[in-house]
Structure 1
């Protein structure tokens, strides 16, 4: 166990949890909440941020409640998945689409955000802009009022410049998944690291980042802004932990990444377990 061998208390900010009682097949293997809990424990991970899978044009109320239910009596910290009505405004067509878009029944509302923010089962939010689009102004305002962290999937369909104009300028903490470069877009990851100089409430998490030089650069330049994420169950947590442990960085920076940084951003990950 890493806690015994290295003195690390490892917390994980990126774990997808099946929202139903049935096992979810990932990479050909069934993953139930019980099995996922066992695998995280065997990898030395003591606490995990969990959320349901992203699905387009679907209400997340039931999946969020399912994840919250499966987190009870497990070392899981549930965050609520949200969606929006706004696409990226990178063209005249995009701006026009946003101007005429309207909220459907399955879209997250400001009232939903308020309920989640004051529901002690949830400790933040998660958003996949490539599937869910971006929240509108009213929802963003509600997110600012709630002041809980938002974990956002970054990548080719949600690059750093778009995240900067839509989310990073807001007053809530934003954790950008995959260093903002999924899938394996080195230049986007480098741009996202650069943005840490500008946005004090921006953090990066490490799941599916396979470039040692970028991981080491971020840890050395911004040791307080990098959070460990395994990407489980798509990536086995053992593999994700070893990728970070074998980096050529001082042990104190590994400790920050594995434990301290996440506990500062997500209060429920702290040893006392509650915010």
Structure 2
């Protein structure tokens, strides 16, 4: 695939790095770290945040997190530690979380978060509550104490309303993937955009958002809260970059999404900005 020429410095807040085929249940394309780096270069992406893909329920993420941190060394990739918890979310809002839970050995603890936070290999955290469960209150309190950015996978099973009820207003930056929706679920994306007015620490990334009108609305109405995310390797980073480049928005709005906003939320993405 030809390299894009666009003149922007692009930082990507949403990529996946699968350490090996046996340890991780892979969704979508699986690529090596070398190929991910090559595809980033083709798209003009200077640096990207990467998290492990999903593991089977009950397995935990310690091994996968360590592998992603190891594979990111000497690459333009920043490792995010993926966290899991015992609290199950429900498809239907109210109540969202089971009131009585008992953590198991593979669930993330507050001590784990503290260790990740003070390990300079990690630059943030990733939550996928619908698949991995929501961490305990103690873990969320530790995330608030640390203050590092948290990438949150939303969707129909963990909609923006659930994100607001459980994660927002704790003080740490929350980057809600895909405008808070599943592909083609514009209602959820509208809900996420509406939350931006009341939650200063909420940001949305652009991965898998196919609707030009939704993307343009986000960039025009909330230019400081939209962050570029490609969703690689499920899609080639070129696809995500082109989706922004072809929008009918000012160049400054693109520059904010590609460069300024990601670097502000995840400072290591473009340290020399």
- 2:241 corresponds to 1:244: no
The match for 2:68 is 67
Q: Residue in 2 aligned with 1:40?
A: 40
Assess if the C-alpha contact under 8 Å between 2:68 and 2:79 holds in 1. Answer: yes
Quote the residue 1:9 is aligned against.
Answer: 9
Deviations 1:99-153 (A, max 9, x none): 3310100000000000011110001000111101211110010000110000000
Unaligned runs of 5+ in 2: none
Deviations 1:58-97 (A, max 9, x none): 22111000000110010001010001111237446x65xx
Q: Do the aligned partners of residues 169 and 30 (structure 1) sit closer, same or farther apart at CA in structure 2, a change above 3 Å counting?
A: closer
C-alpha deviation, 1:272, in angstroms: 3.7
CA distance in 1, matches of 2:30, 2:159: 32
CA distance in structure 1 between the aligned counterparts of 2:147 and 2:199, rounded to whole angstroms:
16
Question: Which residue is 2:49 aligned to?
Answer: 49
Match of 2:150 in 1: 150
Q: Unaligned 5+ residue runs, structure 1?
A: none
RMSD of the TM alignment (CA)? Answer: 2.0
Deviation at 1:21, TM superposition (A): 8.2
SS of the aligned residue for 2:123 comes to: coil
Q: Secondary structure at the match of 2:122?
A: coil
CA contact (8 A) 2:47 2:270 kept: no
Whole-angstrom CA distance in 2 between matches of 1:245 and 1:108: 39
TM-score by length of 1: 0.92
2:271 is matched with which residue?
271
Q: Contact between 1:26 and 1:233, CA under 8 Å: does it hold in 2?
A: no
Give the Cα–Cα distance (whole angstroms) in 2 for the partners of residues 87 and 203 of structure 1.
Answer: 24
Check the 8 A contact 2:160/2:188 in 1, yes or no. yes
